[in-house]
Chains A and B, each alone.
Chain A
């Protein structure tokens, strides 16, 4: 499984006074099993880009290939593409509509015309993947769940289509810290169990650093930077000019290494930072 985006261009309201170029010559590739983090401030073209990857928007020019197959030339059935590429929108809990959790999760698979037994297996499996128990909540109304649970049900609804690519647009937006942590470990579990390509957008740089194999930085409808978290977050100045930051641990370590040059570190997480500091400084055990 792979995704190839070639010279994608998209314009909102073409030929009208409100004309804006949302994507301008965007090209990149994603390989099997990769997890890609996309960052960029509001209006940089992230969401527009995501909607091209499963054919919800049609580019003005350029092509998208999913598994070598061009999905932008009109030869592939859209339902087929959407089964392959699962897209979870921002605040996906707002799309829930069925009486029960199980029925809602079944909506996607049912649209692809699966048999009832297969649908049920999928519903159970995808609920388990997002950390929910079918027997406990399958028959309850999705509207009675907590915010974090609702979101996981909505994500299960997309996973139940068994996509080869899972795209998540700001999956942790608006959640409290514990629900946030649950979503992160859910993403890790999906990656581990399904081994599919995951592309996610986030404003939380610590999450992006922790989860991504590669990061794509969007700015003004173009790809401004692309690389591993280490590579991308070493450009602190350029990122801040785009209204973006680096993981908080990196900020702290920049200050610490400036004050104590004997410490060498380009850590992005607290664990990495602690290891780097302990290499140089011997810290006594706490007495309490």
Chain B
């Protein structure tokens, strides 16, 4: 079943010129279509300015299409009466860990979403506790948010989305500002949430993270350049170069050695080298 359908989506920013008239700016997204299966894990990768963050904001109605449609679980994001319904189903985690935490105390922040949804207090308590346990931050629930590390803050932001009981979470470069430890812990949580059935959309520019998805959408200048499995993408050197992506280390070594495109993992490479040895 398709959970999100993006149909011919175009987003055009307008700016106000000096004489007060509206001027059409550049197209951040230029007529793209794709859909996301319920429960799947899709990553979106591309250079800065490729339109991937703009796309993320369209998926829960934070931005509305200039033309085309975004349908979430059968609801169009243009339908204003469905907006809160859509946002409660599609949670979102942003890049900067500091700028998305609303309350000073950890558990109060996690409660913010459910409070906005009008969930009864006892139920909020339950959701907050279970969300905090899920991201491994339960013992920090009474701490001040500013005392936490970047990775911990990001886990709180994830708990805040989880507490809304969404069916899908969009992660917009959640690890870009974290150190390796924080990055690994956030990726662990993302994979775990996906395995529990949450539809996951991960926007990133780390190839190693994108590779953990079922499917990678490559964006460039507002277009979808490719939409394939990681395996297919890593075999397509031409595509990787055109989109300005980094090579996964195994693929880089494969290219330096001139081994076949089918090699994706260290094990593949060992098998191939073994064959050549004999």
Contact = CB atoms under 8 A, between A and B. Distances in A.
A176 B47 contact: yes
Contact of A249 (B177, B207, B245, B249): B249
Contacts of A21: none
A122 B191 CA distance: 50
A272 to B, nearest CB: 10
B75 to A, nearest CB: 33
Q: How big is the B interface, by class?
A: 35 or more
Interface string A246-288: 0011011001100110110000001101100110111111101
A147 interface: yes
Interface in B242-278: 244-246, 249-250, 252-253, 256-261, 266, 269-270, 273-274, 276-277
B48 A282 contact: no
B166 to A, nearest CB: 26
A283 B180 contact: no
Contacts of A203: 179-180
B257 A271 contact: no
Contact of A244 (B49, B180, B249, B266): B180
Contacts of B126: none
Contacts of A262: 277
A220 interface: no
A274 B179 contact: no
A13 interface: no
A25 interface: no
B182 interface: yes
A164 B95 CA distance: 35
Contacts of A186: none
Is chain B's interface secondary structure helix, strand, loop, or mixed overall? helix
Contacts of B256: 270-271, 273-274
A177 interface: yes
B273 A277 contact: yes
A243 B253 contact: no
Contacts of B150: 42
Contacts of A177: 47, 205, 207, 244-246
B270 A277 contact: no
B149 interface: yes
A147 B253 CA distance: 30
A255 B250 CA distance: 12
Contact of B270 (A248, A251, A259): A259
A234 B273 CA distance: 24
A243 B181 contact: yes
Closest 6 CB pairs of A and B: A248-B249, A274-B256, A177-B246, A176-B205, A259-B270, A178-B244
Given A148-B48, A286-B260, 5 more contacts: A42-B150, A174-B95, A245-B180, A260-B270, A286-B259
10 contacts: A148-B48, A174-B95, A175-B48, A176-B47, A176-B205, A177-B47, A256-B273, A274-B257, A277-B273, A284-B276
